[in-house]
Amino acid sequence: MIVVRTVADLRAALRERRGGSIGLVPTMGALHEGHLTLVRAARADNDTVVMSIFVNPAQFTEQADLAAYPRTEERDVALAEEAGVDVVFAPDGGEMYPDGFSTTVSVTGSVAETLEGAQRGRAHFDGVATVVTKLLLAALPDAAYFGAKDAQQVAVLRRLTADLNVPVELVVCPTSRDDDGLARSSRNARLSPDERARALAIPRALQAVTDAAASGIRDSRALRDRALDVLAQGMIALEYVAFVDPETFEPVPQVDRPTLVAIAARVGATRLIDNTVIDAGGS
Ligand code: PAF
């Protein structure tokens, strides 16, 4: 495995590998089992696996969150190698955003402006869209791998790649969960044992909604009430429980088609998101 730090070196490393397929796993480091699941999927599908590690300041709308984001490059590089990554692309801020950088890739409409886009501000998905466009153009992969936990990010990137005719397949891997059901996230490391126990209200609320839908409840408001009952037990600061179309993020009032149930909440100082898809069959 090699580690490269510039776009020029990444392109040079990939030049001789272009005969085979290339899979890209974009990350911000602080790798956990969820990232390694993406690497394993990329490894199974491709001749070459590239992982990018870059804590993208442009997508952080809170300075404190950016400052607290774990940076563990040495460990990440070792884990990447063990998981079968061929090339790690770990640029610094100057490489990604050199002096004079003045371009923003911005997806508009419900898909980018609601839920995470509304809570974190426009700059969040603009930052994600811009950096992922740069990563895709730098690596020119056949496929790029993302986790279903970031469902809105995936929907924004699907819109972006469709609108700009970017020739890449977006592969979405199921949310990786700890044994207790909590969705894996680099931010979980910041939870105290008590906060972690309370955070379990989030996956439990999603399960309660899934069960209620399976029992025949279709009205999103009634399903939302089920979620709120469970979330109240966690004593967490809820930001939203939303029932939306998984592609457009328009609200779904009646669950008569596949519907994304998305939750965001703060547990102590840590902001967590999670989601599940339910349909009229409740699964
Ligand atoms: O999901 C993430 O870790 C980031 O949003 C991504 C896709 C690596 C862009 O910085």
Ligand 1 center from residue 132 Cα (angstroms):
8
Ligand 1 center from residue 223 Cα (angstroms):
30
Asked if residue 201 and residue 85 are part of one domain, the reply reads no
Share of the chain above pLDDT 90, in %: 97
SS3 annotation, 263-283: EEEEECCEEEEEEEEECCCCC
Q: What count of other Cβ atoms lies within 10 Å of the Cβ of residue 165?
A: 6
Ligand 1 center from residue 5 Cα (angstroms):
17
Spatial CA neighbour of 218 closest among 248, 240, 243, 246: 243
Residue length, the chain? 283
Q: Which atom of ligand 1 is nearest to the CA of 132?
A: 9
Largest CA distance in the chain: 57
Q: Which strand (E) or helix (H) includes residue 130?
A: helix 122-139
* Domain assignment of residue 283, yes or no: no
Of 121, 140, 173, the last residue of a domain is 173
* Domain assignment of residue 109, yes or no: yes
- Write out pLDDT tens, residues 82-103: 999 999 999 999 999 999 999 9
Please give the average per-residue pLDDT across 248-258, as a whole number: 97
DSSP states of 172-240 as a string? Answer: EEPPPB-TTSPBP-GGGGG--HHHHHHHTHHHHHHHHHHHHHHTT--BHHHHHHHHHHHHHHHT-EEEE
Asked if residue 254 and residue 169 are part of one domain, the reply reads no
Of 114, 139, 173, the last residue of a domain is 173
Q: Are 157 and 130 in contact (CB under 8 A)?
A: no
**Is the per-residue pLDDT at 189 higher than 50?**
yes
**Is the per-residue pLDDT at 238 higher than 90?**
yes
Tokens of 120: 């974190």
Asked if residue 118 and residue 86 are part of one domain, the reply reads yes
| Mean pLDDT rounded to a whole number for the chain | 97
Asked if residue 146 and residue 16 are part of one domain, the reply reads yes
Q: How far is CA 132 from CA 79, 80, 120, 139, 169, in A?
A: 22, 19, 18, 10, 13
**Is the per-residue pLDDT at 14 higher than 60?**
yes
pLDDT confidence band for 280 (50 / 70 / 90):
confident
**What CATH number is associated with residue 50?**
3.40.50.620
CB-based contacts of 16: which residues, under 8 Å, 6+ apart? none
Asked if residue 141 and residue 68 are part of one domain, the reply reads yes
- Write out pLDDT tens, residues 94-134: 999 999 999 999 999 999 999 999 999 999 999 999 999 99
Tokens of 14: 């990939």
pLDDT at 281: 58
* Domain assignment of residue 180, yes or no: no
pLDDT at 43: 98
Residue nearest to ligand 1 atom 3, measured at CA: 27
* Domain assignment of residue 181, yes or no: no
Please give the average per-residue pLDDT across 237-248, as a whole number: 98
Q: Which atom of ligand 1 is nearest to the CA of 147?
A: 1
Asked if residue 114 and residue 13 are part of one domain, the reply reads yes
Of 148, 173, 198, the last residue of a domain is 173
Asked if residue 105 and residue 43 are part of one domain, the reply reads yes
* Domain assignment of residue 192, yes or no: yes
Ligand 1 center from residue 204 Cα (angstroms):
26
* Domain assignment of residue 178, yes or no: no
pLDDT at 283: 47
Share of the chain above pLDDT 70, in %: 99
From 28, 30, 35, 278, the catalytic residue:
35
Place of tokens 């004593």: 235
Q: Which of 59, 120, 130, 161 gets mutated to test ligand 1 (max ligand atoms within 8 A of its CB)?
A: 59
Asked if residue 201 and residue 112 are part of one domain, the reply reads no
Which pTM value belongs to this model?
A: 0.96
Number of domains in the chain: 2
**Is the per-residue pLDDT at 282 higher than 50?**
no
Indicate if 124 belongs to the active site.
no
Domain membership of residue 209 as a residue range = 186-274
Asked if residue 264 and residue 148 are part of one domain, the reply reads no
Please give the average per-residue pLDDT across 40-68, as a whole number: 96
CB-based contacts of 63: which residues, under 8 Å, 6+ apart? none
Q: Which residues line ligand 1 (CB under 6 A)?
A: 26-28, 56, 59, 128, 131-132, 150, 153
Coil vs helix vs strand at 4: strand
Asked if residue 147 and residue 198 are part of one domain, the reply reads no
**What CATH number is associated with residue 204?**
3.30.1300.10
CB-side exposure of 179: number of CA atoms within 13 Å? Answer: 0
pLDDT at 183: 98
Q: Are 150 and 26 in contact (CB under 8 A)?
A: no
Please give the average per-residue pLDDT across 45-49, as a whole number: 98
Q: Which atom of ligand 1 is nearest to the CA of 135?
A: 9
* Domain assignment of residue 282, yes or no: no
* Domain assignment of residue 152, yes or no: yes
Asked if residue 193 and residue 165 are part of one domain, the reply reads no
Asked if residue 139 and residue 34 are part of one domain, the reply reads yes
Out of 62-71, 135-144, 202-211, 261-270, which region has the weakest mean confidence (pLDDT)?
62-71
